[in-house]
Amino acid sequence: KNQVEQSPQSLIILEGKNCTLQCNYTVSPFSNLRWYKQDTGRGPVSLTIMTFSENTKSNGRYTATLDADTKQSSLHITASQLSDSASYICVVSKGRVTGGGNKLTFGTGTQLKVEL
């Protein structure tokens, strides 16, 4: 069973609208949570990294939140653009190691499509 679950699996929104993607995890012990954007046929690109003590982090129009008590995270995209069409992957790092080795557990991603 995947320890990082994302919802929805896919989402279609109109350009200019906002959306929120969800991530629930059971990875323990928790170190940090990352959101990546992956365009079709490309490698993932880091958007945010949050540690246990951080509950929100922004990167331009992307804002990630973290509730370490409920083990939930969200990624909010504001004023969506066509270029936001991509897969958004939630990644949780466990243990005290800062991400080396097999410490990262990837979700299966939310496929976002932004239309005119």
Residues in contact with other proteins by CB under 8 A are 4, 31-32, 34, 36, 41-46, 49, 51, 89, 91, 93, 98-102, 104, 106-109
* DSSP 8-state secondary structure symbol assigned to residue 109: -
With CA atoms as reference, report the closest residue to 5 among 25, 21, 19. Answer: 25
> CB 12 → other proteins: shortest distance, Å?
17
- Between residues 35 and 77, which has the closer beta carbon with respect to other proteins? 35
> CB 4 → other proteins: shortest distance, Å?
8
- Between residues 86 and 89, which has the closer beta carbon with respect to other proteins? 89
> CB 116 → other proteins: shortest distance, Å?
25
- Between residues 44 and 80, which has the closer beta carbon with respect to other proteins? 44
- Between residues 45 and 79, which has the closer beta carbon with respect to other proteins? 45
> CB 98 → other proteins: shortest distance, Å?
5
Cα 42 to chain centroid, rounded: 17
- DSSP codes joined into one string, 38-81: E-TTS--EEEEEEETT--EEEETTEEEEEETTTTEEEEEE-S--
Cα 39 to chain centroid, rounded: 14
* DSSP 8-state secondary structure symbol assigned to residue 102: T
